[in-house]
Amino acid sequence: MKVLNLQDKFAKFSDLWSPKVIAEMNNYQFKLVKINNEFTFHKHLETDEVFIVIEGEMFIEFTDSTVNLQAGEMIVVPKGTEHKPYAPNECKIMLVEPKGTVNTGDSVDIDRTTPNDDWI
């Protein structure tokens, strides 16, 4: 049982859009990600996905609307919902999702799809 300091963990990596696992609860994982600029539209067919903004601000574009999230805010994106995250500047977020969830969901993108069990 280890106390995890989120900022210490963020200091351990600098690559963007590449979720790093910091903790596992049952079969769910807590992942930190640094994002900047646009990601691709994708959906997760088998699971909801939680975004928690730790520092900075981000937007999530849906097919018919866009939401803005600031530090200290979170959202649950329901399974099957197309979404495209983007951030005007570097933004630090935490994701909560089942182990094995792929960052690009059903949209395999050779430039964007990253390993999904990369621990720091």
One residue of 16, 36, 41, 48 binding its own copies per CB under 8 A? 48
Residues 91-120 that bind its own copies (CB under 8 A): 96-98
One residue of 17, 30, 42, 43 binding its own copies per CB under 8 A? 30
Between CA 114 and CA 120, with CA 117 as vertex, the angle to 5 degrees is 100
Can residue 23 be called a binding residue for its own copies (CB under 8 A)?
yes
Are 109 and 27 a contacting pair, CB within 8 Å?
Answer: no
- Cβ closest to its own copies, residue 72 vs residue 110: 72
Q: Which long-range contacts (CB under 8 A, 24 or more apart) does 6-12 make?
A: 6/32, 6/54, 6/92, 6/94, 9/120, 10/34, 10/54, 10/55, 10/92, 12/120
Residue 120 CB, shortest distance to its own copies, in Å, is 14
Can residue 45 be called a binding residue for its own copies (CB under 8 A)?
no
28 - beta bridge partners? 25, 98
Residues forming the site for its own copies (CB under 8 A): 1-7, 23-26, 28, 30, 47-50, 54, 62, 67-70, 72-79, 81, 96-98
